[in-house]
């Protein structure tokens, strides 16, 4: 074989190899150029969702170095890939900006690559035939159109416009409840007569695909709205119960369950709206597995740990500051979650206290904070304790450093006051609330705020800290009455071993606690302050006498001795450590200022106020309590006048 032939063979082999390499590379670079096989199912939600999953997976996993890009193009594509990965992760934590980015990408994929157009989009959702739309379809359309006008107030506007948050009777129930039915959604859809463009239709389809891919299923848009909260899995029949019923012979009940006439746990979606728990009867997760998926994803922000059968609950916050609690079997009978939202923009006393007499109540609340009074905010769950606490914090003097202890981050004070000295601690799996409060002692804090006194160690430390560790303390508690509050705090101190004697522990509590603000949520969902109560410790007076010295006979001396012994046993066995009285009460829909604050608290409050607030406080006292006490005409004690700081340079203007 000649050298020429050998060279020709090598050239042919090189050319053939080059052609094979080129064809393989072309296929790798253009995987989406394959002809899309179109059939009746091509444009259904399920098929399009599979396409979106596959396409986004390809975009995030493609090896950019194998494509042969220029340096500038490689850098640009790497940044986009990183941004998409970050958004896909962040949108599952409740980040609305990441959610918007992912939805825009899905919109582009469907319209530009998948070929969704005006003609085939109705295969996914029958926009052109309203009678075929499900209640969820209609709700999604209504919320989308309202969101264009009202943003995250869309659901609030819808509920208010059609008066949906009212008690109503529904078929099969004997008592009224707060519920929004499928029929109401259908009536609203008909009244609205909405006209959708192709962009509107595709946006609704994109939202539906997104919420089952990376979102929170049927509650995805509802969770983003400015409402008080949303929960799921808290009503209906659990799967375990359904299997038990299947073993019975009640065929009628079984048929009702199979036809979904009896609500299941996965049909349970509730919202917390302006103090009312409202069931959204027209929404459902569809299956138990979808409810489970939402529960497993909704709490994952900041890696709080694994939700398992051993650890059956998780308390965490979402990226937008919402508090989320998730529970699962076997700790609970079904998978369930509770998302609680706190609107920091609305947490001012002027917006929270709205009934007649509100001006006096707002002033009084401000004076309690400015006067550095140790104050409890009590009430049942959902009565607005945390929100009121956020409103009161606004009135703490700027010069005071604030330290906060919470179970989960809820107050988010630094979002509202970014220039103030505020640091928040919370409990973790390895750091208890007691340890967190111990650390607070060493962080130069002036004000201690405890989001919720829920455990005995925290209650015990709160009392101790209020005595020595800070200027004053604000905290919330679930007590129903003032004596219940004192008893609960006392028992916490006994259980933690700080004190062994009930009377001693109670005495410590009443010496520390100054005021209790009690929040109420009535059966209609209305929230208001029922009372503001002052705690008044009872001074122990020496009532013993030495009259036995004047007695001449032994019988007389014994009589006087037994008189003193009787007084002693009365003090020991029935010792009254405190009294209490309401400074303000809610009477017939109106706030009424009632009993005056005691001299001791007034004195201490005045010592902690600046010149402007001191003058306003004096006028407040003179307005409400001078006339009430005019008959007694008890002058201000000399000790109070002498103890006023010299910087004020004047006497009080009131009598008590």
Task: With respect to residue 288, please indicate whether it lies within any of the assigned structural domains.
Answer: yes
Q: Give me the mean pLDDT over the 601-628 stretch.
A: 88
CATH number at residue 492: 3.40.50.300
- Are residues 317 and 453 both part of a single domain? no
565 in the same domain as 473: no
Across the chain, mean pLDDT equals 82
CA distance linking residue 421 with residue 399, whole number of Å: 9
On whether residue 499 sits in a domain, the answer given is yes
Element holding 229 (H helix, E strand): strand 229-232
Same domain, 215 and 269: yes
Domain identity same for 360 and 234: no
Helices 45-61 and 71-90: angle between axes, nearest 10 degrees: 130
> Which residue range is the domain that position 510 belongs to?
345-538+576-595
305 within a domain of the structure (yes/no):
yes
Question: Percentage of the chain with pLDDT > 70?
Answer: 84
Determine, yes or no, domain membership for 166. yes
Q: Are residues 268 and 355 in the same domain?
A: no
The H-or-E segment that residue 351 falls in is helix 349-352
Last residue of a domain, one of 306, 341, 376: 341
Rounded-to-integer distance, Cα 267 and Cα 287, Å: 8
Look at residue 424 and tell me if it is in a domain.
yes
Residue 627: how many CB atoms within 10 A of its CB?
10
In angstroms, the CA 364 to CA 357 distance is 11
Say whether pLDDT at 293 is over 90.
yes
Instruction: Give the C-alpha distances (Å, rounded to integers) separating 596 from 189, 363, 516, 583, 584.
Output: 56, 14, 15, 6, 9
Pair 362, 446 in one domain: yes
Angle between helices 502-512 and 482-495 (to 10 degrees): 120
What's the angle, vertex CA 216, arms to CA 208 and CA 146, rounded to 5? 55
353 with 415, same domain: the answer is yes
The verdict on residue 609 lying in a domain is: no
For the segment 329-379, what is each residue's pLDDT rounded down to a tens digit?
Answer: 989 989 999 998 876 565 788 888 989 999 999 999 999 999 999 999 999
> Is there a domain that residue 363 lies in?
yes
* pTM for the model: 0.72
Q: What is the pLDDT of residue 103?
A: 94
| Closest of 188, 227, 403 to residue 322, by C-alpha | 227
Record the tokens describing residue 396, joined without a space.
Answer: 């703490």
Same domain, 180 and 280: yes
323 and 249 inside one domain: yes
Domain end (from 341, 373, 402):
341
Higher pLDDT among residues 561 and 183, named by residue:
183
* Residue 640, in any domain of the structure: no
Task: Please check whether residues 278 and 382 belong to one and the same domain.
Answer: no
Query: Residue 21 — very low, low, confident or very high, per pLDDT cuts 50/70/90?
Result: low
392 and 332 co-located in one domain: no
Residues 329 and 421 in one domain: no
pLDDT range class, residue 3, cuts 50, 70, 90: confident
Tell me how many domains the chain contains.
3
For 564-595, how does the pLDDT look when each residue is reduced to its tens digit (9 = 90+)? 777 676 666 666 788 999 999 999 889 999 99
| pLDDT at residue 591 in the model | 94
End-to-end, the C-alpha distance of the chain in Å comes to 125
Instruction: For 121-176, write each residue's pLDDT tens digit.
Output: 999 999 989 899 999 999 999 999 999 999 999 999 999 999 999 988 887 777 88
pLDDT of residue 259 exceeding 80: no
> The domain spanning residue 288 has which CATH number?
3.30.450.90
* Per-residue confidence (pLDDT) for residue 481, from 0 to 100: 92
């Amino acid at each position: 074989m000649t050298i020429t032939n050998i060279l020709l063979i090598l050239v042919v082999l090189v050319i053939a190899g080059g052609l094979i390499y080129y064809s393989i590379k072309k296929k790798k670079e253009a995987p989406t150029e394959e002809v899309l096989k179109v059939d009746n199912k091509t444009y259904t939600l399920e098929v399009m969702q599979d396409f979106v999953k596959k396409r986004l997976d390809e975009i995030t996993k493609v090896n950019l170095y194998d494509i042969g890009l220029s340096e500038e193009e490689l850098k640009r594509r790497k940044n986009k890939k990183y941004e998409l990965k970050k958004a896909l992760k962040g949108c599952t934590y409740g980040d609305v900006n990441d959610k918007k980015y992912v939805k825009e990408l899905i919109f582009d994929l469907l319209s530009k690559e998948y070929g969704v157009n005006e003609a085939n989009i109705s295969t996914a959702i029958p926009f052109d035939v309203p009678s075929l739309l499900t209640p969820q379809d209609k709700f999604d359309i209504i919320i989308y159109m309202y969101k264009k006008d009202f943003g995250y107030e869309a659901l609030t506007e819808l509920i208010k416009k059609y008066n949906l948050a009212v008690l109503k009777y529904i078929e099969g129930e004997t008592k009224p409840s707060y519920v929004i039915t499928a029929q109401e959604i259908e009536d609203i859809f008909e009244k609205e007569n909405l006209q959708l463009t192709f962009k509107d239709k595709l946006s609704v389809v994109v939202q539906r695909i997104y919420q089952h891919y990376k979102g929170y299923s049927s509650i995805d848009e509802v969770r983003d709205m400015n409402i008080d909260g949303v929960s799921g899995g808290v009503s209906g029949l659990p799967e375990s119960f359904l299997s038990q019923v299947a073993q019975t012979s009640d065929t009628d009940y079984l048929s009702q369950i199979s036809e979904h006439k009896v609500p299941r746990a996965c049909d349970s979606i509730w919202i917390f709206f302006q103090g009312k728990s409202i069931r959204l009867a027209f929404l459902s997760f569809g299956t138990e597995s979808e409810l489970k998926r939402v529960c497993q994803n909704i709490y994952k922000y900041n890696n709080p740990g694994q939700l398992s059968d051993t650890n059956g609950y998780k308390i965490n916050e979402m990226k937008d500051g919402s508090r989320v609690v998730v529970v699962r079997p076997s700790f609970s009978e079904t998978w369930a979650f509770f998302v609680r939202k706190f609107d920091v923009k609305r947490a001012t006393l002027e917006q929270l206290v709205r009934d007649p007499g509100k001006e006096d109540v707002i002033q009084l609340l401000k004076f309690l904070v400015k006067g550095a009074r140790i104050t409890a905010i009590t009430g049942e769950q959902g009565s607005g304790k945390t929100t009121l606490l956020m409103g009161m914090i606004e009135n703490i003097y700027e010069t005071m450093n604030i330290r906060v202890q919470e179970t989960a981050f809820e107050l988010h004070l630094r979002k509202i006051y970014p220039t103030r000295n505020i640091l928040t601690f919370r409990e973790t799996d390895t750091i208890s609330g007691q340890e967190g409060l111990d650390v607070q002692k060493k962080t130069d804090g002036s004000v201690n705020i405890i989001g919720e006194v829920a455990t005995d160690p925290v209650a015990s430390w709160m009392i101790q800290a209020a005595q020595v560790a800070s200027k004053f303390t604000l905290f919330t508690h679930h007590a129903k009455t003032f004596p219940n509050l004192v008893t609960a705090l006392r028992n916490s101190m006994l259980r933690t071993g700080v004190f062994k004697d009930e009377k001693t522990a109670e005495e410590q509590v009443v010496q520390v606690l100054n005021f209790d603000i009690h929040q109420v949520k009535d059966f209609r969902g209305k929230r208001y302050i029922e009372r503001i109560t002052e705690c008044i410790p009872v001074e122990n007076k020496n009532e013993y006498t030495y009259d036995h010295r004047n007695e001449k006979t032994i019988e007389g001396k014994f009589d006087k001795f037994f008189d003193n012994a009787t007084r002693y046993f009365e003090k020991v066995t029935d010792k009254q450590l405190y009294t209490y009285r309401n400074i303000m009460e809610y009477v017939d829909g109106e706030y009424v200022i009632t009993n005056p604050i005691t001299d001791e608290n007034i004195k201490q409050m005045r010592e902690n106020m600046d010149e402007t607030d001191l003058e306003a406080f004096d006028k407040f006292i003179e307005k409400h309590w001078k006339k009430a006490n005019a008959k007694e005409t008890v002058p201000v004690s000399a000790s109070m006048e002498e103890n006023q700081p010299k910087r004020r340079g004047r006497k009080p203007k009131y009598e008590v």
